[in-house]
Structure 1
Amino acid sequence: MAHHGWGGRPPASDAEARQRIVDATARCVDRHGAAKTTLTDVANELGVTRQTVYRHFDRITDIIGEVAAQGAESFVDRLIAHLRGIGDPAEAVVEGMVFCVRTIPTEPRLSLLLQLTDSDAFGRGATTADVIAYGAQMLRRYPVDWEAAGVGADDLHGLAEIIMRLLTSLLQHPADPPRDEARLRALLTRWLAPALSAGPGRAVRPG
């Protein structure tokens, strides 16, 4: 690990170096936007060479992806806190989607998810197996007894895929004129909630 630059405070470990690169990238993105942030910008922000950054990340998109991922972790914690006390599966899913549509576009690190196109949650990779599995893991944190609602472990992956696809569309192609929260909630309650309101044993399953 290089001991030059770094504002006179070289990192004590590779893990610290990577985190400082991620933090510097976040600052660059705040100033320039994700599309205009380059690896040179990040290196200059840290006072190191491009090669030093390359020792830890192969591409600028990899660093921006990590910025987005760390923002997503904090976001999910806040989402789960927002849903506390909502045990009905239909209400929890609808309210969770309303929260996502309201929150993601207003926060820089979350908005990165909309701009990434290689492998991240709200770009073209939104239906990949890894992202769907992440969505299912997130659903397991909801304050919902999924088994009692007739939604098994395999069903959660299907539900996660539907949510990711729908959320991608709502975020990338908002309604014109825009819907307020009440109208979005009404739309989702009318067309999405019924699939989760059937109760145990009544869900339609593929043959």
Structure 2
Amino acid sequence: MRSRGWAGLTPSSDEEAISRILTAVDEEVAEHGPGIRLADVARRLGVTRQTVYRYFPNADALLIASSMRAVNGFIDQVAEHANGLNDPVTAVVECVSFGVENLSGDPQLESLLTRRNEGEPVTSLTSDTAIAFCLSVFHRLDVDWKLHGFDTAALSELAEMTLRTVQSLLTDPGERPHDGLALRRFVARWLGPAILYPRLTALRIHERQASPD
């Protein structure tokens, strides 16, 4: 960890340095919006750009890391909201709907999901990190995933499909965006069958194995 700068208050560890950098990012976004520059973050911290580059390669990486830090608290909210739901369709539909309703209109998230630099794709919610966050929510739900036919691979695929649904609804809500009960019906109608598929497949395999030749 570099010891120069930091407005005379040198971090005691890399973890503290990263935390202070991300706090500076949050302050920049709050004051000037998501179009931040790495140089502005460095200036706020009293360090050189090279110091920030040591931890983050560019401004997008700063924004993503800042969003992921905020997601930790959001995961707690989602898990608490879906507490007591043991049906996988009901639980996932509620998680998706709650996420869309509470993340919609977030300027930092919307910028990340829609901004495209020349020759680069838009930021995806289906990165390994995002899927890991989604899986952490699934594991905190009162759902017996194994009972409903989900092994590790299937649950990871469901996490990806769930995140794709959330991203689609956030980036293109439509001329008449769904909300409330209408949103839940819409998600249940089209995502629900995918959630039921592993259990139905497992039952069919069991029936074939149990049938006499």
Normalised by the length of structure 1, the TM-score is 0.81
Partners of 2:198 and 2:48 lie apart in 1 by 59
| Residue in 1 that maps onto 2:72 | 73
Per-residue CA shift, 1:35-94, capped at 9, x if unaligned? 2x1111101111222222223322222222210111112111211111111111110011
Determine the structure 2 residue equivalent to 1:178: 177
Aligned to 2:159: 160
Counterpart of 2:139? 140
For 2:134 and 2:21, how far apart are their aligned partners in 1?
27
**Normalised TM-score (structure 2):** 0.79
Query: Cα 1:56–1:161, aligned 2, differ >3 Å: closer, same or farther?
Result: closer
Match of 1:28? 28
Percentage of matched positions with identical amino acids: 37
Distance (Å, rounded) in 1 between the aligned partners of 2:201 and 2:58: 48
Distance 2:115 2:66 in 1: 11
1:96 deviates by 0.5
Contact 2:100–2:170 (CA under 8 A) maintained in structure 1? yes
- 1:66 and 1:193, CA in 2 relative to 1: closer, same or farther beyond 3 A? same
User: For the structure 1 residues 112 and 12, does the alpha-carbon distance in structure 2 shift closer, same or farther, using more than 3 Å as the test?
Assistant: farther
Q: Aligned in 2, Cα 1:129/1:146: closer, same or farther, shift over 3 Å?
A: same
**1:52-201 residue pairs with structure 2 within 5 A?**
52-107=51-106, 110-111=109-110, 113-115=112-114, 123-128=122-127, 131-197=130-196, 200-201=199-200
Answer whether contact 1:38 1:60 (CA < 8 A) is retained.
yes
Measure, in 2, the Cα distance between the counterparts of 1:159 and 1:204.
19
Greater displacement, 151-160 / 93-102: 151-160
SS of equivalent residue, structure 1 residue 125? coil
**Runs of 4 or more consecutive aligned structure 1 residues displaced over 3 Å after TM superposition:** 1-5, 106-113, 115-118, 123-138, 194-205
Alpha carbons of 1:16 and 1:108: their partners in 2 closer, same or farther (altered >3 Å)? farther
Of the structure 1 ranges 159-168 and 90-99, higher mean CA displacement relative to structure 2 is found in: 159-168
Secondary structure, in 3 states, of the residue corresponding to 2:67?
Answer: helix
Check the 8 A contact 1:30/1:108 in 2, yes or no: no
Match of 1:40 in 2: 39
Aligned-residue Cα RMSD (Å) equals 2.8
| Greater Cα shift, 42-51 or 83-92 | 42-51
- Unmatched 5+ stretches in structure 2: 205-213
1:86 aligned partner, one-letter code: L
How many residues of Structure 1 are paired with residues of Structure 2 in the alignment?
Answer: 200
Maintained 8 Å contact 1:65/1:116? no
TM-aligned CA deviation for residue 203 of structure 1? 5.8
- 1:8 aligned onto 2:13: no
Amino acid at match of 2:23: D
C-alpha separation in 1, matches of 2:198 and 2:60: 43
CA-CA distance at 1:178 after TM superposition: 2.0
Q: For 1:113 and 1:124, how far apart are their aligned partners in 2?
A: 6
* Rg (Cα) greater in structure: 2
